Amino acid sequence: MNCQQVREYLFDLDTGQAPAAAEEHLRSCSACAAELAALRRTMSLLDAWQTPEPSPYFDTRLRARLREQAPLGWWQTLRRPAMALALTLIVAMGVMIHGTRALHQRSDFAILAPPGTAVGDLQSLDKNRDLLANIELLDEVSYDQNNQVNQ
């Protein structure tokens, strides 16, 4: 075991849960043994240290300071949630308006392929077929109206 690995087991050496290789390394390495001794001295100092008692008036002064703070009004309490709700509604309305415009601009929901590709050529032929069918219907209607006027 090397020094780096033994440093990971320094706290376990006091409880006896460290591997035997760590204890063997401590016998041969004076630097690691000195570090363990320093750790044990620090731990004994912390065990002997007594925490100071809080001031008997600490709670009273803390409550008084909290009362001195100006209470928040209803607007300060609701300001952030109201702003978040307003922003969410604005974004939702923008998405809805953009979505309906996109639907009205395109009569079909198919994705248009770039021209010059096989799919793009088929899509343009399909649109042209629909256009020609509509023009032929207009010609028939105007021909029927002209024949009725002439008779």
Q: Residue written as tokens 């007594």?
A: 50
For position 85, what pLDDT does the model report? 94
Question: For the residues 118-129, what does the mean pLDDT come to?
Answer: 79
- For the segment 50-75, what is each residue's pLDDT rounded down to a tens digit? 888 888 899 999 888 888 886 667 77
For position 111, what pLDDT does the model report? 66
Higher pLDDT, 3 or 105: 3
0.95 exceeded by pTM: no
On the question of pLDDT at 1 being above 60, the answer is yes
CB count in 10 Å sphere of residue 36:
20
Residue ranges per domain, the chain?
Answer: 3-48, 81-110, 111-151
Between vectors from CA 90 to CA 87 and to CA 93, what angle results, nearest 5°? 150
Q: Residue written as tokens 């109201």?
A: 82
Q: Among 20-24, 110-114, 146-150, name the most confident range.
A: 20-24
CA–CA distance, 44 with 26 (Å, rounded to integer): 20
The helix (run of H) or strand (run of E) holding residue 84 is: helix 74-105
CA–CA distance, 101 with 99 (Å, rounded to integer): 5
On the question of pLDDT at 107 being above 60, the answer is no
For position 89, what pLDDT does the model report? 96
